């Protein structure tokens, strides 16, 4: 039995291919009874629509033959809590998403919910009308809710740790492994009293991965003096200085480089007596300002793009039954706020005398 095609179904039903195509994707331009008739006939014939075909043909018509495979949507929720740091982070993700999409023959359009009166229901209409089905959801403050979209039409990846409205595949930095690697690096440099300060809301959103790795390594790295983590809702100088004076950590890890001035106010000399590592390089004003952790956001964006395109090509739509988490470790970047690693001592080779026997 020949494989049914758009042309053969159109002939069978006495419809134009344009009407048939619109009906298959549920376009409001086609009467509901016609849509129902087309879907029933397609199911009976075993016809499966390629979700990229409509988008590709639409774009080809607009671009007059430009080589093209599809359109992806990068969706971002912008609220009053959207900080300049969040904007820089998402812009960096977008650079990786756009570059990888272009390499794979796709175009990316960015939609900002909350700007110019764009709402999720309005976005749903725009995406449906234009045949855009692959979504990359950019990180949002707190725990975002995207349930207003009709998810049977889309496939998506969230570019952060966790989302439950709806539960989707996620791509993000491996904060736990990154902290483990950082503490091992600091231990190798001779630091024995590492201290961590952490915003409570951020710790909760990351499901305590920074803090979990910090507490675990304090127990297992030899010679470590355990310093309680400083947790706060709003970072205050008096609170930080009290913690720093009481526990005297020889290396401080956190997200705010401004505390280096507070450390100096307590008598610290960086890096001679104390050290500092910023846990997010995007919070620094200069690349060489201090040692830091680079989340490699362009790589995260690239990986999210690859996953969405793979799901599109496999017709995987709707909310996944088994959401997955893909993680990429952050990259440690050395800087002037840490003392250098001591050179490794050469191993002494045992002298071997002529004719000597070994046991």
pLDDT in tens, 35-67: 888 888 888 877 766 555 555 445 544 544 446
* Residue 103 placed within a domain: yes
* Most confident listed range (48-62, 63-77, 130-144, 256-270): 256-270
* 98, 238: one domain: no
* Residue 106 placed within a domain: yes
Q: What is the pLDDT of residue 177?
A: 96
State phi, psi for 72 to the nearest 5 degrees.
-110, 155
Q: How many domains does the chain have?
A: 3
Averaged pLDDT of the chain: 87
Tell me the mean pLDDT in the region 269-283: 96
* 271, 186: one domain: yes
The whole domain housing 88 covers: 70-174+299-328
* 188, 323: one domain: no
* 307, 287: one domain: no
Prediction pTM value: 0.75
Higher per-residue confidence, 168 vs 25: 168
Q: What is the pLDDT of residue 124?
A: 96
* 211, 168: one domain: no
User: Which pairs count as long-range contacts for 96-100, CB under 8 Å and 24+ apart, including other chains?
Assistant: 96/297, 96/298, 96/299, 96/300, 96/301, 96/302, 96/305, 97/72, 97/136, 97/301, 97/302, 97/304, 97/305, 98/301, 99/298, 99/302, 100/301, 100/302, 100/305, 100/306
Please report, for the domain that includes residue 221, its CATH number: 3.40.50.2300
* 93, 236: one domain: no
Q: What is the pLDDT of residue 357?
A: 42
* 41, 153: one domain: no
Query: pLDDT digit string (tens) for 78-97?
Result: 987 778 888 999 999 999 99
Higher per-residue confidence, 209 vs 10: 209
* Residue 346 placed within a domain: no
Q: What is the pLDDT of residue 51?
A: 54
* Residue 20 placed within a domain: yes
* 309, 270: one domain: no
* Residue 58 placed within a domain: no
Query: pLDDT digit string (tens) for 143-178?
Result: 899 999 999 999 999 999 889 999 999 999 999 999
* 113, 222: one domain: no
* Residue 65 placed within a domain: no
* 108, 167: one domain: yes
Cα gap 72→309, rounded to integer Å: 8
Cα gap 287→299, rounded to integer Å: 18
Query: pLDDT digit string (tens) for 314-358?
Result: 999 999 999 999 999 999 999 999 998 766 555 555 544 444 443
* 166, 187: one domain: no
Q: What is the pLDDT of residue 55?
A: 53
Q: What is the pLDDT of residue 172?
A: 95
* Residue 255 placed within a domain: yes
Q: What is the pLDDT of residue 258?
A: 95
Cα gap 217→179, rounded to integer Å: 9
* 90, 103: one domain: yes
* Residue 354 placed within a domain: no
Q: What is the pLDDT of residue 2?
A: 57
Q: What is the pLDDT of residue 71?
A: 95
């Amino acid at each position: 039995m020949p494989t049914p095609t758009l042309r053969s179904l159109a002939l069978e039903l006495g419809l134009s291919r344009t009407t048939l195509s619109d009906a298959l994707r549920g376009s409001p331009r086609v009467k509901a009874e016609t849509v129902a008739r087309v879907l029933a006939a397609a199911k009976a014939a075993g016809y499966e629509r390629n979700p990229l075909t409509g988008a590709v043909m639409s774009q080809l018509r607009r671009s007059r033959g430009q080589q093209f495979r599809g359109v992806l949507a990068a969706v971002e929720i912008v609220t009053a809590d959207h900080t300049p740091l969040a904007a820089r982070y998402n812009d960096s993700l977008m650079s990786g998403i756009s570059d990888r999409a272009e390499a794979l023959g796709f175009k990316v359009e960015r939609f900002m919910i909350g700007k110019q009166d764009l709402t999720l229901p309005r976005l749903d209409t725009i995406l449906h009308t234009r045949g855009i089905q692959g979504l990359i959801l950019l990180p949002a403050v707190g725990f975002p809710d995207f349930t207003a979209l009709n998810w049977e039409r889309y496939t998506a990846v969230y570019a952060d740790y966790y989302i439950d409205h709806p539960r989707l595949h996620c791509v993000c930095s491996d904060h736990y492994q990154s902290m483990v690697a950082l503490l091992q690096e600091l231990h190798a440099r001779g630091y024995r009293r590492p201290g961590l300060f952490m915003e409570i809301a951020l710790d909760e959103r990351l499901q305590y991965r920074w803090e979990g790795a910090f507490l675990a390594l304090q127990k297992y790295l030899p010679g470590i003096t355990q310093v309680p983590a400083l947790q706060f809702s709003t970072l205050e100088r008096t609170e930080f200085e009290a913690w720093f004076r009481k526990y005297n950590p020889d290396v401080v890890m956190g997200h705010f480089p401004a505390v280096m001035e507070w450390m100096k106010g307590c008598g610290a000399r960086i890096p001679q007596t104390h050290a500092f590592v910023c846990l997010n390089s995007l919070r620094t004003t200069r690349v060489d300002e201090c040692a830091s952790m680079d989340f490699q956001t362009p790589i995260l964006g690239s990986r999210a793009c690859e996953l969405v395109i793979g799901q599109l090509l496999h017709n995987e739509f709707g909310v996944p039954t088994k959401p997955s988490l893909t993680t990429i470790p952050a990259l440690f970047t050395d800087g002037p706020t840490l003392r250098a690693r001591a050179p490794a001592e050469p191993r002494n080779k045992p002298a071997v005398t002529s004719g000597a026997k070994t046991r």
